[in-house]
Amino acid sequence: MNIAKKLATIGATAGLALVLGSPLAQAGDHAMSFFVTSVGIGDGGNLGGVAGGDAHCNKLAEAAGSKGKTWRAYLSTQVTEGRGKAARDRIGKGPWYNARGDLIASDLDQLHLNPNLVKRTAVDENGKQVNGRGDKPNRHDILTGSKDDGTAFFPWEKGDHTCSNWTSNADGKGNASLGHHDRHGGGNTSWNAAHHSRGCSQANLTQTGGAGLLYCFAAD
């Protein structure tokens, strides 16, 4: 092989490596198993219970072309005695990838300690960016009802943080624990437990920078 052909071969190989290493090339390597919902249910904290949140995730995922997966909303519950169901116990074991093929987390430990979750990667079921801090309107508040380790609140931990287990849109009786999908906002950088909402109505969710959006994970 002469020098010209050798250089051409090396250049082509390097170019292929660059292409294969690009996000666009990797997007098709892994099926979507995580997304932020593009829309909320629209009734504040009343999702129709956890089952309603799950159904919303499944509906959006299937409309986006996902098949053969069981989708779960990242939502915890509360009970009057003991501890409710933890969001982390509902979503499988991972790994989870977004609609662009980016790895979000390899397992539950990484998800709750050091996930690849920022505005760029926390996209919706169609791979589109979700509004965050600085956008109009800001929609970075995500309903979770969870503590930062993904567990449920105890009854004595300052009231109800699940909008009556996701069946209420009333204000003054409870609120929702919220995460920030963009990991920004007033020092509240937690993706799943940044702060609590002012109430459970759609209006109150909107006022603090939310739209009743959910995190959805493929549990299988």
CB within 8 Å of 166: residues ≥ 6 apart: 45, 46, 47, 48, 49, 50, 52, 53, 75, 77, 143, 145
Query: What CATH code would you report for 31-218?
Result: 3.10.100.10
* HSE-CB for 117 with a 13 A CA cutoff: 26
Q: Give strand pairing partners of 216.
A: 35, 73
pLDDT, tens digit (0-9, with 9 covering 90-100), for 58-87: 999 999 999 999 999 999 999 988 889 999
**pLDDT category of residue 16 using cuts at 50, 70 and 90:** very low
Q: pTM for the complete prediction?
A: 0.86
Q: Give the Cα separation of 100 and 140 in Å (integer).
A: 19
Q: Are 46 and 169 in contact (CB under 8 A)?
A: yes
Q: What is the mean pLDDT of the chain?
A: 88
pLDDT, tens digit (0-9, with 9 covering 90-100), for 103-162: 999 999 999 999 999 999 999 999 999 999 999 999 999 999 999 999 999 887 878 999
* HSE-CB for 34 with a 13 A CA cutoff: 27
The amino acid present at 43, given as its one-letter code, is D
Per-domain boundaries in the chain: 1-30, 31-218
